[in-house]
Amino acid sequence: MTQTQTLTERGVGASALRPDATLKVTGEFAYASDLWLDGMVWGVTLRSPHPSAWIRSVDVGPALRMPGVFAALTHEDVPGEKYYGLDVRDQPVLAVDEVNYQGEPVALVAADHPETARRAAAAIVVEYEPREAVTDPRRATRIVRRQPVRVGSVFEADVVVRGEYEVGMQDQAPLGPEAGLAVPAEDGGVDLYIATQWLHVDRDQLAPCLNLPPEKVRLTLSGVGGAFGAREDLSMQVHACMLALRLNRPVKMVYNRQESFFGHVHRHPARMRYEHGATRDGKLVYVKADILLDGGAYCSSTPAVVANAASLGVGPYEVPNVDVVATGVYTNNPPCGAMRGFGAVQACFAYESQMDKLAAACGLSPLEIRRRNAVSQGSRLATGQVIDSPAPLAEMLERLAAFPMPGPSDGDLLSLPGGVSQTTHGEGVRRGIGYGVGIKNICYSEGFDDYSTARVRVELVGGEPHATVHTAAAEVGQGLVTVQAQIARTELGIDNVTVATADTGVGSAGSSSASRQSYMTGGAVKAACEAVRARFQGLPPVEALEKFGPIEETREFHHRPTVPLDPETGQGDSHTQLALCVHRAVVDVDVELGLVKVVALDAVQDVGKALNPMALEGQIHGGSAQGLGLALMEEIQVRDGRVLNPSFTDYLIPTILDMPPMRQQILEFPDPNAPYGLRGAGEPPTLSSTPAIVAAVRDATGLPLSRVPVRPEDIALR
C-alpha cells in the first residue's frame, strides 16, 4: 500500500501511511515481549508486600536449591551504584535495608522457564519489620518541591467562588507490558533491547549501577506497546542487565499485567483548593490555589510535574492577580511520575470546574465566561511569560459552539447508559452538556538543555537515491517514524527513505514525552537533511551522488532557551511553546443507576502545522479517550498504601463502546519559532476532555461532583 503513494502524498502535510500499520493490525508486529534469543533465560523480580518496612534479612537459598534456577540476587550483588533516578538518584536498584512502597523490588531470580523463576522468587525468605506508612499526602513531612507563582496584590472581587477538588491516581495502562532482553557482550559490556521512552537517559542511569562506562551499555529500541509516561523511569532494565552480566548469557524479562501496575510510575493524585474572584460582568480579578500532589515513594519526575501544575495552574485565561502554590510530597504510596498531561491535567480539572462555577455566579454561559477571559497572542501568563505566537482561544471556542448538537437517543439500547448490560430503557436518563479548555507546555521547560540529534545518509541504491534517517527517538505508537520519513522526503526530494532502528549509536533524541518529538526530532531531521541538500550543490540527487558519492550529515536541534521559575515568585519564561485544545461533551446520565454514556465529545485544537493529518486526528482521539477514562472510570485504588485493583478486570479503561463519535476541527496557526510552524499536539486533548465530560454530568444531574473519576455512587446515592 505504501508504494502506491506518490512523493507528494508521502511528504510533510500528507497523511502518509505508517510502515508499521499493517503489521500491528494483523498481529505480526514484534513487540519487546516477543524478543527471543537461543540460550536465553528468564528473569523475575521479587517485590515487597508492604508499603513501609525494615528488611531484617533476605535468604535466597531456597530459590537457588530449586532445579532450573541459575541465579538469585539481592542489593549486595549490585556491581556499582545502588541507586538511580531521573532527577534525584534516590531509588534503589534492589531494596537495601528498607522498602518504601508495596511492590518495591527486593531480589531477582533467573531460571530456565518464567514459571520456574516465579516459583523460585516466591521461595525467597524475607524477614520484614513493618512500620507505619505515610499514605495521606496532607500529613507528609518530606517535600519534593514547593513552587509558588505570585503576581499582583488585589485579592478582593465582586464575585467570589471557591472549591475543593480531587484527582485520583490514574495508570497509563499501556497494553504492552514492560519487557526487554539483555545480552552480555564480548567486551564486558551489555546490549539491551528494550521498550522505553528515552534510550540515553536509561543508559546514563544504568551504567553507574552496572559499574560500566556508558559506551559499554548499548541500548536498542524494541517494539513499544504504548507508553504515555509509564516508560520514562527504569523498570526491569537494570535487573535484566545485572542477571545477564552475572550469568554471561541472555536474560529476558517480561512483566505480567499485575506486576506492570507495580513496576511503573502513575499519574500524581491531587488535592486542590481554588478561589476565583471576578467583576460582576465576569472578568477575572484574581485566582488563589493550593495544589498538593502525591509523589509516592521516590522523586521520579515530580519536580517538573509540580512546575507544570504551578505555572499553568490558572489555565489559558488573563488573570492580573495570582497566588498559586503547588507542592509535591513523598509518601509510601506507589511512585508517581510522568503521564500524558504531566501536572497540567490535575490543575485543568480544578480551574475549569471553577470557571463553570464563576459562570453560574455571574449569570453567564460557560462559553461566554471563557471567551471574556481568553488569552491571545501577546497575553501574559501568571509566570510573566508573554505568549508570543498565535493563541486563537476565542476563535476555537466559537468554532466549538458552531458544531451541531447530537440528536436524541434513537432507542437502541446500546446507545443508552449501561449499554450492552441493558440496565435501562430510557427511564431516569437525563442529558447534559459541558465544556473544557486546556493549555499545555510543549517540550522541556525551566532551562533544561532540550535537544535532539539526527544523522541522515544519502546514497545510490540500484541507481536510485536512497536516504537513511537515524535518530534515537522512541516510536511509542505516536507515528514518529512516519513523520521522520515525511520530513526527509520533503527536504531531500527523495522518495525512498528508511528510518533506522533507534539506538544509542547516535546522539540523544530526548524523551518521547512533553509532545516534543515532532518539534525536536523533526527539527533535527530537517536540519540534517538541509545540510545534506546543501552538499548537492544545486544538482539533482542522482547527479550529486554520482559526482560526490554517499553524503552523510549529523545535526543537533535545540529549541529557544528557557529559564527556571523563580523559587519565590514563580516568574520566568519557563516554557518553550504552549498548545490549546477545547472540548464540548454531551452525555446521557441514568440518575437512578449512576451510569453515564458519553454521546459526543467534540474538539477544536490548534496544531500550528499538521505534518500528518490522519495521525494527528488519531492523537486527538487517543488523548480524549484517556481524558474520558480519568473522568469516569480510571483509578488505581490505594488503601493504606496497598493497591487493590492491579488488573484490567478491576482497573477499567475505555473501550470502543465507551468512546463516542468525535467531531474535530484542526486549526493551523503557525508558530514562527517551530519547525514548519508546528505545535506539539499529543497531550492537550487529555487536559480538556476530562473537565468537559464532568461538567456535562454536572449539567445533567445538578450535583457538584468535585472528584474524578466520577463513580456511579457519586450520582445515584445522593
Q: What pLDDT was estimated at residue 2?
A: 36
Exposed e or buried b per residue across 377-393, where buried means at least 16 C-beta atoms within 10 angstroms of its C-beta: eebebbbbbebbbbbbb
Pair 310, 326: CB distance under 8 Å: yes
pLDDT value at 718 more than 80: no
> Is the bond leading into 250 cis (omega within 30 degrees of zero)?
no
Helix (H) or strand (E) holding 630: helix 613-632
The pLDDT of residue 362 is 98
- Multiple choice CATH, 270-444+567-716, 2.60.40.1110, 3.40.228.10, 3.10.20.310, 3.30.365.10: 3.30.365.10
Residue range 340-368: mean pLDDT, rounded? 98
Confidence (pTM): 0.97
How many Cβ atoms sit within 10 Å of the Cβ of residue 428? 15
pLDDT per position as a tens digit, 54-107 = 999 999 999 999 999 999 999 999 999 999 999 999 999 999 999 999 999 999
For β-strands 321-329 and 190-194, DSSP reports them as unpaired
Model confidence at 172: pLDDT above 50: yes
pLDDT(3) > 60: no
pLDDT band at 422 (very low <50, low <70, confident <90, very high): confident
Q: Does domain 33-132+177-224+231-263 have CATH number 1.20.1250.20?
A: no
Please, what is the Cα angle at 219 between 214 and 225, to 5 degrees?
Answer: 145
Q: In which element (H, E) is residue 458 found?
A: strand 451-461
What are the DSSP calls for 339-397, one per residue?
-TTTTHHHHHHHHHHHHHHHHHHHT--HHHHHHHHB--TT-B-TTS-B--S---HHHHH
**How far is residue 598's CA from residue 587's CA, in Å, rounded to a whole number?**
4
pLDDT band of 4, cuts 50, 70, 90: low
CB 432 within 8 A of CB 589: yes
Q: Give the model's pLDDT for residue 541.
A: 96
Whole-number pLDDT of residue 717: 67
Gyration radius of the chain over CA positions:
26
Q: Where are the beta strands (DSSP E) in 2-104?
A: 41-47, 53-59, 69-73, 83-84, 91-92, 98-99
Count Cβ atoms within 10 A of the Cβ of residue 610 and give its class: 0-12 exposed, 13-18 middle, 19 or more buried.
Answer: buried
Cell of 382: 501568571
Residue 318 CB-half CA count within 13 A: 18
Cell of 336: 508517581
pLDDT, mean over the chain: 96
Question: Cα(399)–Cα(457) distance, rounded to whole angstroms?
Answer: 44
Give the confidence band of 426 by pLDDT, cuts at 50, 70, 90.
confident
The CA angle 188-224-647, to the nearest 5 degrees, is 110
- For CATH 3.90.1170.50, list the domain ranges present in the chain: 33-132+177-224+231-263
Question: Which pLDDT does position 413 carry in this prediction?
Answer: 79
**Residue 424: per-residue pLDDT:** 80
pLDDT of residue 410: 77
The domain over range 2-30+451-558 is classified in CATH as 3.90.45.10: no
Handedness of CA 265, 523, 579, 613 (dihedral sign): negative
Question: pLDDT tens digits, residue range 611-642?
Answer: 999 999 999 999 999 999 999 999 999 999 99
| DSSP bridge partners of 670 | none
* 415 pLDDT more than 90: no
pLDDT for 491-533, tens place per residue?
999 999 999 999 999 999 999 999 999 999 999 999 999 999 9
How far is residue 536's CA from residue 530's CA, in Å, rounded to a whole number? 10
Q: What is the pLDDT of residues 684-696, one digit of tens each?
A: 999 999 999 999 9
In the chain, DSSP finds a helix count (H) and a strand count (E) of 16, 28
Share of the chain above pLDDT 90, in %: 95
Residue 1 has pLDDT above 70, yes or no: no
User: Where does CATH 3.30.365.10 sit in the chain?
Assistant: 2-30+451-558, 270-444+567-716
Query: CB-based contacts of 3: which residues, under 8 Å, 6+ apart?
Result: none
pLDDT above 90: residue 423 = no
